[in-house]
């Protein structure tokens, strides 16, 4: 397995880190597990932002996974390039989550654009 493929696994689990932060910050108790989506929708502040970061992470992960797989299948890019792009993407997602939790909206948006540019980069280097 390449580093880039391991990064897909990391990306898959990042949303669950966010929801963990949301639940902990919101005072989640096991009895709240009967309707966790309602609980998450009721959060404010840090918990609400963590839930939003979770949702965005679920949205972007399929595009990242597809980009990594396409880059591998195309076979035109150097493996080291694919791996570096994947690590940079995971780094951008971690920074994105930090910015979301810290409520740094402008910086968060810039980091989001970097992440999206990295996804496009997989396709560009595969041509």
End-to-end CA, the chain: 22
Residue of 58, 68, 45 whose CA lies nearest to 121:
68
Q: What is the mean pLDDT of the chain?
A: 94
Global pTM value: 0.94
Local confidence band at 35 (pLDDT 50, 70, 90 cut-offs): confident
Lowest mean pLDDT among 42-46, 60-64, 96-100: 42-46
Q: What does the DSSP assignment read for 75-115? A: --S-HHHHHHHHHHHHHHHHHHHHHHHHT-HHHHHHHHHHH
Task: Map out the domains of the chain with their CATH numbers.
Answer: 3-125 (1.20.120.550)
Joined together, the tokens standing for residue 4 give: 């880039």
Per-residue pLDDT, 37: 85
Residue of 86, 116, 92, 115 whose CA lies nearest to 3:
86
Percent of the chain whose pLDDT exceeds 70 = 98
């Amino acid at each position: 397995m390449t580093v880039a493929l391991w990064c897909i696994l990391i990306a898959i689990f990042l949303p669950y880190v966010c929801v963990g932060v949301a639940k902990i910050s919101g005072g989640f108790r096991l009895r709240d597990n009967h309707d966790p989506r309602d609980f998450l929708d009721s959060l404010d502040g840090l918990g609400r932002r963590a839930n939003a970061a979770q949702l965005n992470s679920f949205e972007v992960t399929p595009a990242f996974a597809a980009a990594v797989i396409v880059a591998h299948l195309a076979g035109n890019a150097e493996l080291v390039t694919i791996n570096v792009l994947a690590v940079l993407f995971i780094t951008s997602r971690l920074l994105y989550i930090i910015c979301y939790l810290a409520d740094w909206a402008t910086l968060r948006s810039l980091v989001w654009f970097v992440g999206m540019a990295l996804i496009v980069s997989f396709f560009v280097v595969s041509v």
